[in-house]
Structure 1
Amino acid sequence: MVGELLHEIMRVIDLPAFDFEHDPTARRLSTFIADGIYDGFVAFDGEQAVGFATVYQSHSLYGNGAYGTIPELYVRPEHRSRGIGNQLLTTLIANARERGWSMLEVTTPPLPGFDRTLAFYERSGFAITGGRKLKIQLQPMVGG
């Protein structure tokens, strides 16, 4: 589903913003979870995985120390508007409270293509607090 998420973003923004390969990404996820630096949650409809969300601990002075960052939250298109995203977000918030984090932070994909994503987070209590997320690639992306 990570690949589905990244390909959907790239299709909507019409830019090759991500280099995704399944196997290296799956290995990276397994390592992150085993090392305790990443939590992942999967939503199922029966036995079919229909959505997922991930979170990791960040630190900042403005965040009063430790807080959570949500790098990925995705629900397959045919399962959207059924409360699955809300269930995943509720799970992330509960996880954050258990960890004693001061807040959760998320960055939406670029607008206006993802206005519905922004509205989803705002309905869930998130507020816009700053500008755009920027990045600089320091090493070539190889394998995901």
Structure 2
Amino acid sequence: MPSIFLRRATPPDVTLIYSFLCELEEETFDFEQFNTIYNRNLLNPDCHYFLAFDHDRCVGYASVHAQWLLHHCGKVGEIQEMFVIPDYRSKGIGQLLIQQLFEVAQHENFEILEVTANKKRLDTHRFYERQGLERTHFKFVKKMK
């Protein structure tokens, strides 16, 4: 495995994370709106953003957002995004990122940690199952705009 280190994301990382998420979602987002949301979330103590680096090259990103949910009677974390650049996949980067999210979940006393992955991302489903997450729900979506 390459020499990887993790750190929390900062405001100047917005363009890097923007490019990762546009690639992940196969969509070009409105950068101004993205930047506004990103910076708002950085100020929110329930949002945690992490970057993975191989020396000075950023090779991955992951985020978890927490919320207090009545139906769990406690704090629940949801992995919102996880991305590793293609030439660094299957090298343990995703495992390091998710381990960091597990540490946040423990430190923040989450009742559970959950993730939703697009149904077409079968490799992603297998990755999360290998990390000990169970497939327990279906997600239904209706676009409102």
**Residues in 2 aligned to 1:66 and 1:74: alpha-carbon distance in whole angstroms:** 24
TM-score when scaled to structure 1? Answer: 0.79
Counterpart of 1:108, as a letter, is A
Q: Which residue of 2 is the match for residue 39 of structure 1?
A: 48
Output the CA distance in 2 between the equivalents of 1:110 and 1:9: 13
Q: What is the aligned partner in structure 2 of residue 104 from structure 1?
A: 113
Task: Tell me how far apart the structure 1 counterparts of residues 24 and 44 of structure 2 sit (CA, whole Å).
Answer: 29
Matched, 1:63 2:79: no
- The DSSP-based 3-state class of the residue aligned with 2:60 is strand
Deviation at 1:91, TM superposition (A): 0.1
Q: Which moved more, 1:41-50 or 1:19-28?
A: 19-28
Whether 1:75 and 2:84 are equivalent positions in the alignment is yes
Structure possessing the higher relative contact order (Cα contacts under 8 Å, 6 or more residues apart):
1
Unaligned runs of 5+ in 2: 1-16
Measured against aligned partners, the alpha-carbon deviations of 1:39-88 in whole angstroms (never above 9, x if no partner) come to 10000011111101011112323433211011101101111001000000
The residue that corresponds to 2:20 in the other structure is 4
The CA distance in 1 between the partners of 2:58 and 2:76, in whole Å, is: 27
Larger CA deviation: 128-137 vs 66-75? 128-137
Give the conservation status (yes or no) of the 8 Å contact 1:3–1:20: no
The gaps in structure 1 that reach 5 residues or longer are 11-17
Supply the distance in 2 between the matched residues of 1:61 and 1:34 (Cα, whole angstroms): 24
Give the distance between the partners of 1:129 and 1:100, measured in 2 at CA.
21
Contact 2:46 2:67 in 1 (8 A): no
The CA RMSD over aligned residues, in Å, is 1.9
- Where do residues 78-93 of structure 1 align in structure 2 (5 Å cutoff)? 78-93=87-102
